[in-house]
Amino acid sequence: MNAYMGYDRILGPKQGAILIFAKTSKEAKLISYKMIHSWFSSSWIDVSIKKMDAHHLFKHADQLKLMNNIPHIIDDVEVCYRCQLWGEYEVTDGLCECCRN
């Protein structure tokens, strides 16, 4: 399983991004499109899926689904209160590593 970030490419990930666990980016898009569309009325081509090479993201996964290789989405990942992002850097106590330094 890989971790992906799904967001509307016009609005950008700051407006809202979904964490997706899936085997391929295609599968990630399939399972996250409905939610991104419901947030932003995004069209299929405007939904961006970015592969995340950040191991700390796996702690947000549904561990049972992860263990059983069931693709799923997490739509309430904790964001850094300063930059409003999650993903590249681990967020601890409300701040990401980048903003902390």
Which residue type is seen at 32? Answer: S
Which residue type is seen at 14? Answer: K
Q: Least distance from C-beta 100 to Zn ion, angstroms?
A: 8
| Bridging pattern class, strands 2-8 and 47-52 | antiparallel
| Bridging pattern class, strands 72-74 and 17-22 | antiparallel
H, E, C per residue of 30-79: HHHHHHHHHHHCCCHHHEEEEEECCHHHHHHCCHHHHHCCCCEEECCCCC
Q: Least distance from C-beta 74 to Zn ion, angstroms?
A: 19
Q: Least distance from C-beta 96 to Zn ion, angstroms?
A: 3
> Measured from the CB atom, is 77 or 99 closer to Zn ion?
99
Q: Least distance from C-beta 83 to Zn ion, angstroms?
A: 3
> Measured from the CB atom, is 27 or 88 closer to Zn ion?
88
> Measured from the CB atom, is 22 or 85 closer to Zn ion?
85
> Measured from the CB atom, is 30 or 77 closer to Zn ion?
77
Q: Which DSSP category does 24 fall into?
A: S
Residues binding Zn ion (CB under 5 A): 80, 82-83, 96, 99
